[in-house]
Amino acid sequence: MHRLRSSLTLASTAVLLATAPTLLPAQMPQPPAAQGIVLRNMDRSVKPGNDFYRYANGSWVSRTTIPADRAEVGVFTTLLNKSRRDVATLVRQAAQAHAPAGSNERKIADLYASYMDTNTLDSLGLKPLRPELSQVNAIRSQRQLAAVLGSLLRADVDPLNDTNFHTINLFGLWTSPGFSSPADYAVYLLQGGLVLPSRQYYLDPSAHMRQIRAQYAQHIAAMLRLAGYTQPSARAARVLALEQAIAKVQVSLADDEIVQRANNVWTPADFEAKAPGLDWRTYFAAAGLEHQQDFYVWQPSAFAGVSALVASKPLAAWKDWLAFHLLEEYGPFLSQPFAQETFDFEGKVLTGVPQQPARWKRAVDLVNAYLGDAVGQLYVAKYFPPQAKAAARDMVAHLIAAWHQRLEALTWLAPATKAEAIAKLDAIYVGVGYPETWKDYSAYVVKPDDLLGNVWRAQLWKYRYNLDRIGKPVDRHEWWMEPQTVNAVNLPLQDALNFPAAILQPPFFDPEAPAAHNYGAIGTIIGHEISHTFDAEGSAFDAQGRLRNWWTAADHQHFDQEAKALEEQYDRYQALPGLHVNGEQTIDEDIADLGGLMAAHEAYRDSLDGEAAPRVDGFTGDQQFFIAFGQNWGSKARPAALRSQVLSDPHAPAQFRADTVRNADAWYKAFDVTPGETLYLPSDKRVRIW
């Protein structure tokens, strides 16, 4: 689940927001509309062929300071800030409307208010979490342990789209179309149970990682001490040792991305036979899954390994682990000492952020996380007019057409494979702006004076929402992002794309900007998501979303050779001294960046209808296009956050994503890049997949 680091407050919502304007930004300046590439961000003293990222963004990088409350800052941050301000306005309006109890507007206002009421939170201390901690303390047997673990199983989002499962339980649950039966929703179980960003944090023997583990042990002890546990340091050592044992049996991120390895259907009897140790019958009953007859087990070796640990590690260690994970998960929603200690480790140590975001920002994030569609309906009504949707859909249509042309022109795909690829492209559902149907929150109870209860009930609502649809027909138009989200997504099991409203605005998309800018900015993002349809993961699924190999052996061989060459490019990039990008880990995103770039450039050239591209500020159309792409990735990150990204994120750091232009022939011509320049690649070394 996406975890929100902070806490909330009480009082009458309407009074809170109307009389305390400092809690929400009453009137914040909006970023100016984009009118093409941003000249003042460029550093034209840098040769494009030596460092294209710096050429496009160097002046911005030099003058920009990362805000104290952020791990990184960039173009996406600009829109994230705008989205937060816009949602804050909607929250204020919902509070002032005095909406009736049970309405979405009232729930939005009450959830926000519960987070902002620090006085009530501080007066309650640990009290809201004591029932769950008491349940853990009462465990006396392996059967009782299994029951508590099962009762804490929660639903997470799509593992095909970069989700790292940090759960209070050992596993995460996801419901989605089945690999072999895409017409109905199936159950997937995934590895989880770790707090640190990835298994490397537990296993890497370097001095830097040993130091982080030492600080983590101190943090565990501090949280247990705040909760009144005796011998907190000894308990912390047991928790860390147990998590290291879990990390050892988990699957690495690079291996986890090979989706065919996740196609493992187990019956309840299979869990007993293949993963003995945990009382699975009791676990599933406590999780409300006692009648489920089959599960997709994403990482079988991890399930076997963790189940063996349940049987072999002392019960006392598991109780300490559970107590700490409850405190870690819900500490941000308790009194100030718990919230602060959680941020001091997860914010300051893991990402290097010295200061928490303003409380209103965290409150907005909470509302977006748990009432996302309720906010989304208000958001699109106010900020995404029909003409904006029409303009974005037109851009998407041009990118789809460009992909058609590129697929038709490929010579390395066998005719049968090419036909399947085109059929998949023809069948793709493209969601622009907002979903066709909205989630129903009528069963979610929100109280203005019960923050932790609101969070707990929200997670249960989401879990039950997932359970309720198991075995039911799939909605292939279902959205996995809210309209106010600054992102986009490809959904291979649905053969679908989502482009939320919040990303379809300046600086990525502006109908008043030159076409070269729009195609280089939002066009490459749209092309990126379409490209995922045919990458190593996306190409494993057919037009119906079924996991099926529709490629010939020769097709796979060619694709793998080109992908390997791109992997090797990224392997050479060094994010921090001694820390290289893992090309195998980032390959799908790297291919999507390159495929999106190439398709968007072709779409841009086609949009000119044979006319000469207008020069803007002395730049040719192609130069504007590539600079706009490079400026998508303007970013600065703190070293700790950058390290975390390299070790736990399937996306490469931003500066290396910008430099993928070195594989595009048109870029060489546009900037007269010649041999001897740093990014220069001979023609036969440039990666050309799509």
| pLDDT tens readout for residues 41-52 | 999 999 999 999
Distance of CA 578 to the CA centre of its chain: 26
Mean pLDDT (whole number) for 627-634: 96
Burial of 40 (0-12, 13-18, 19+ CB in 10 A): exposed
pLDDT for 160 equals 63
Around Cβ 119, how many Cβ atoms within 10 Å? 11
pLDDT for 174 equals 93
pLDDT for 673 equals 98
Structure tokens at 325: 């994970």
pLDDT at 449 over 90: yes
Mean pLDDT (whole number) for 210-229: 98
pLDDT interval class at 27 (50, 70, 90): very low
Mean pLDDT (whole number) for 250-269: 91
pLDDT for 536 equals 81
Mean pLDDT (whole number) for 108-115: 97
pLDDT at 318 over 90: yes
429-433 and 496-500 beta bridge pairing: parallel
pLDDT at 494 over 50: yes
pLDDT for 5 equals 26
pLDDT for 167 equals 60
pLDDT interval class at 8 (50, 70, 90): very low
* 75-96 and 372-383 helices, crossing angle to 10°: 100
- Could you give the percent of the chain with pLDDT greater than 70? 93
pLDDT for 648 equals 87
User: Which sequence spans correspond to the domains of the chain?
Assistant: 1-30+77-125+334-383+440-463, 131-315, 384-437+475-685
pLDDT tens across 639-661, in order? 999 999 999 899 999 999 999 99
pLDDT for 158 equals 61
pLDDT interval class at 361 (50, 70, 90): very high
pLDDT at 316 over 60: yes
pLDDT tens across 236-246, in order? 999 999 999 99
pLDDT tens across 118-142, in order? 999 999 999 999 999 999 999 999 9
pLDDT for 255 equals 87
Query: Between 690 and 186, whose confidence is greater?
Result: 186
pLDDT interval class at 13 (50, 70, 90): very low
Dihedral angle at the C-alpha atoms of 107, 110, 116, 119, nearest 10 degrees? Answer: -150
Domain over 131-315 is classified CATH 1.10.1380.10: yes
Average pLDDT score over the chain? 91
Mean pLDDT (whole number) for 247-276: 93
pLDDT for 163 equals 44
> In angstroms, rounded to a whole number, what is the distance separating the alpha carbons of residues 37 and 193?
44
Of 9-23, 379-393, 508-522, minimum mean pLDDT range: 9-23
> In angstroms, rounded to a whole number, what is the distance separating the alpha carbons of residues 193 and 197?
11
Same CATH fold, 384-437+475-685 and 131-315?
no
> In angstroms, rounded to a whole number, what is the distance separating the alpha carbons of residues 576 and 639?
8
pLDDT tens across 389-442, in order? 999 999 999 999 999 999 999 999 999 999 999 999 999 999 999 999 999 999
Do 227 and 186 touch, CB atoms closer than 8 A? no
pLDDT at 20 over 90: no
pLDDT tens across 532-546, in order? 999 888 889 999 999
pLDDT at 622 over 90: yes
- CA neighbor of 503 nearest in space, from 384, 366, 398: 384
Over its C-alpha atoms, the chain yields an Rg (Å, rounded) of 25
- The domain made up of 384-437+475-685 has a fold known as Collagenase (Catalytic Domain) (3.40.390)
pLDDT interval class at 594 (50, 70, 90): very high
- Could you give the percent of the chain with pLDDT greater than 90? 88
- In the three-class reduction of DSSP (H, G, I as helix; E, B as strand; rest coil), residue 443 is classed as coil
Burial of 8 (0-12, 13-18, 19+ CB in 10 A): buried
Positive or negative torsion for Cα 604, 608, 610, 616: negative
Structure tokens at 187: 């159950």
